[in-house]
Amino acid sequence: MNEFALGFSVTALAKGVMITLIITLAGSLVAIVLGVIVGLIRVSAHWPLRCLAVAYIEFFRGTSLLVQVYLLFFVLPIFGVFLSPWTVAIFGIGMNVSGYGAEVVRAAIQAVDRGQYEASTALNFPRVTMIRRIVLPQAIRAMLPPWGNLLIELLKSTSLVFFITITEFTTASKLAADATGNYLLFFAVALFGYYVIARALITPFVRWLERRLSSGFVREALA
């Protein structure tokens, strides 16, 4: 392994990791925002809105993420809509994960004790106020563990953006392996790299949020 190949490999890997982190962060924001919105619409009192939410969820959960990305990148230009590779990567992956996240939000909201809804109705709370101030604060704690799993899946899904010309971590590892001939080393780096990112960033953040929210409810229970 000569110095030029080694230098190229290190540079490629560093850029690949940075690109993967950026897409993961931005895609996570898209997934969380859309997931919460669609999940709330999913439990709406208006059936046309619920039908739209169900259609959104079923489309993104029931079709291939790679095909969805291809549709955004290669098919939309046929209709005069041109999106950059970065836009497709962030919104394509984010919308896909939001379909799963919306069901997490729905399940968490519906898991809140029925007594909470009845008490809110007895106090004459508007439905929006009831969801915002009574139901969501309790449902969020139940959402966090599955959302953590979804964000890890989102991280791993970023490897698909290679197909729309973005050189992320997996592709950078392949380029480094091609340059040096050491496939074992660089694919091992890629394998454990995703694990380290998930364990060092996503999992600790989700667990921190769980502790923060749970401690608040414990203090309330003891008061």
Domains detected in the chain = 3-154+169-222 (1.10.3720.10)
- Please state the rounded mean pLDDT for residues 153-158: 96
Q: Nearest 5°: CA angle at 92, between 86 and 95?
A: 135
> At 111, is the pLDDT very low, low, confident or very high (cuts 50, 70, 90)?
confident
Query: What confidence score (pLDDT) does residue 141 get?
Result: 86
Position 118 pLDDT exceeds 80: no
Position 221 pLDDT exceeds 50: no
- Please state the rounded mean pLDDT for residues 55-75: 96
φ, ψ dihedrals at 44, nearest 5°: -65, 155
Percentage, residues of the chain above pLDDT 90? 67
Position 91 pLDDT exceeds 90: yes
Cα(173)–Cα(185) distance, integer angstroms: 9
Percentages of the chain per state (helix, strand, coil), in multiples of 5: 90, 0, 10
pLDDT, mean over the chain: 89
- Please state the rounded mean pLDDT for residues 19-42: 96
Query: What confidence score (pLDDT) does residue 21 get?
Result: 96
Position 220 pLDDT exceeds 50: no
Percentage, residues of the chain above pLDDT 70? 93
The encoded tokens of residue 118 equal 């009845």
Q: Which residues of 170-184 are buried (b: 16+ CB within 10 A; e: fewer)?
A: bbbbbbbbebbebee
Amino acid code (one letter) for 97: V
- Please state the rounded mean pLDDT for residues 140-161: 94
